[in-house]
Chains A and B, each alone.
Chain A
Amino acid sequence: MLYDYLAGPFVEFPFLRRALVGAIALALGCGPIGTLLVLRRMSLMGDAMSHAVLPGAAIGFMFAGLSLPAMSLGGLGAGLLVALLAGIVTRLTPLREDASFAAFYLMSLALGVLIVSTHGSSIDLLHVLFGTILAVDDTALILVAGIATVTLVALALLYRPLVLDAFDPGFLRSVGVPGSTIHGLFLTLVVLNLVAGFQALGTLMAVGLMMLPAAAARFWAREIWSLAAVSSALAALSGYLGLLVSYHADLPSGPAIILVAGLLYLISVGLGRRDSIRTRYFVKSHLAA
């Protein structure tokens, strides 16, 4: 009975199985990336980048229809272009990086909506904005798994400089590592993972699977590796539970997944093992005991 409820749908329907595998692959890359975004105080940067991806995806859609490779390539290009332009403005003017990112992602978002609304139906726009995880096919799976693999390998290679750049950037530069190159490579990984997420979750919500688990992990783990591991686990759990809810309650899968991730975040804030509301206000300190 319980088995039918928890595993049955995935056994019965291949499209749900594919969606689950896709969500888990996504979780593997998004966990560490989200953790590093939080540590680098760039939580909102992921959000900005996810909007920036839209016009590229729209242009891909314009030329090739609802084709994942074309839309992904376009999204990747648009995301990197926004990152590049924002970086150039930050370098040449006193405007801070977050402000120049905001400027470019807003232009990018508007352009994207413009393209989709003039060249497609509103259904298409909904697909691009909110994703259709239940339409994940083999091509999409290979793409998502490929991006997760590239992300994990790249993070393994860049781990130490990336962490050090967030902790003590002056020291990193003094030992001869170019911090801006590291930063650029990291932004590329962020864009890649957003692109991986948008087929399933849509450009607007891809960032949800990146940030919510990473923010929640803060209440369970302390070291960077355990933060990343908990983030990935929570993201995968959100994917599984979200799909389940979406199947049983007949709800759209993308928002269901992100809402489950949000619920896990709220539970973590309230009941987590470290610095949660429970441990701060409801457990007696050793002085009071």
Chain B
Amino acid sequence: MSRQGAAVTVEDLTVAYERHPAIHHIRGQFAAGSLTAIVGPNGAGKSTLVKTIAGTIRAVSGRVRRDPAGPASLAYLPQQSEIERGFPITVLDTVLLGAWRRIGWHRAAGRPEMDAALAALDAVGLAHFEQRGVSTLSAGQFQRVLFARLMVQDAPLILLDEPFTALDSKTTRDLLALVERWHGEGRTIIAVLHDFDQVRAHFPDSLLLARELVAWGRTESVLTPENQAAARRISEAWDENAGACHEAAEDALRVGT
């Protein structure tokens, strides 16, 4: 199936927690159908940016425009740590949540939703797991279930927050193949990642973040040693002196370029 991906425009976006900015004046565009990795040091605001795009937290200033807009046009994978893995819910029910925009608060899942869920489970290598409780799954199996849910959501924009953290290489390989398949289907994909080699091998575009935007574009021109050093410097400057952050960040950027 091929479809038009969604375009995401970030307009001078600032998001803060308790008045401390987590990301600061980010602007740029994720083109329709692009496959972008968001990278940066810990505390750089990567998850914050993804959550703001997903619409789960609100910006202090600036905004995110998605085309098409509306919650139905995006599928979001939260970090595993934000999900209650011991919850008494079956694999099938978890995957069926992907059909939320059709079943919503009250409607029952019908044959089409059920078929989509079973097909998705099959695609992530978990056929016949549908009646298992999620608490019996390993971290890798659980992530496969969440990927199946993303497939059922069938959205033009897919947001992944650290999708491969703490997974073994086989699981990571399988799930990366799915991401590339979605990319081939023309969907827009944005993923928070830590493994630079993985980003270079699989992600054409990158966004390097250190609360400020350090670089955004083709991966080979973003993940340069100079940019990475600049990201580290900005992030350290922020940590040492949160008050005078803006100037510190700009100084660091100037030194870097």
Name A's B-contacting residues (CB within 8 A). 39, 93-94, 157-158, 160-161, 163-164, 166-171, 173-177, 222-224, 227
Q: Which residues of B contact A169 (CB under 8 A)?
A: 82
B78 at the binding interface (Cβ < 8 Å):
yes
Compute how far the CA of A227 lies from the CA of B100 in the bound complex, rounded to whole angstroms. 24
How would residues 48 to 89 of chain B score, 1 for a CB under 8 Å from any chain A CB and 0 otherwise? Answer: 000100111000000000000011101110110011100111
Give A252 to B246 CA distance when docked, in angstroms.
67
Q: Do residues A222 and B105 form an inter-chain contact, with CB atoms below 8 A?
A: no
Is A170's CB under 8 angstroms from B88's CB?
A: no
Instruction: Give every chain A residue within 8 A of B149 (Cβ-Cβ).
Output: 171
Contact of A224 among B74, B76, B78, B88 (CB under 8 A): B88
Q: Are B88 and A175 in contact (CB under 8 A)?
A: no
Residues of B within 8 Å of A167, CB to CB, are 83-84, 87, 89, 94
Q: List 5 A-B contacts (CB under 8 A).
A: A39-B88, A157-B105, A160-B105, A167-B89, A173-B54
Q: How far is the CA of A166 from the CA of B83 in the complex (A)?
A: 8
Contact B78 A171 (CB under 8 A): yes
How many residues from B make CB contacts under 8 Å with A? 29
- Contact: A160 with B74, CB < 8 Å? no
Taking the closest CB of chain A, its distance from the CB of B170, in whole angstroms, is: 25
**Known A166-B87, A167-B89, A222-B133: A176·B82 in contact at CB below 8 Å:** no
B56 A174 Cβ-Cβ under 8 A:
yes
Contact flag A174-B71 (CB < 8 Å), given A160-B106, A164-B97, A168-B82: yes
Q: Give A166 to B101 CA distance when docked, in angstroms.
A: 19
A224 to B90, CA, bound (A): 10
**Contact between A170 and B70 (Cβ–Cβ < 8 Å)?**
no
Tell me, yes or no, whether B18 is within 8 Å of chain A by CB.
yes
The answer for the CA separation of A101 and B56 in the assembled complex, in Å, is 24
List B residues 78-136 near A (Cβ within 8 Å). Answer: 78-79, 82-84, 87-89, 94, 97, 100-101, 104-106, 133
Residue of A nearest to B18 (CB): A94
Given A167-B87, A167-B89, A173-B56, 18 more A-B residue pairs with CB atoms under 8 Å apart are: A39-B87, A39-B88, A93-B18, A157-B105, A160-B104, A164-B97, A167-B83, A167-B94, A168-B78, A168-B83, A170-B51, A170-B78, A170-B82, A174-B74, A174-B76, A222-B88, A222-B133, A223-B88
Q: Name which residue of chain B comes closest to A218, CB basis.
A: B88
- Closest A-B pairs by Cβ, 3 of them: A176-B71, A170-B78, A174-B76
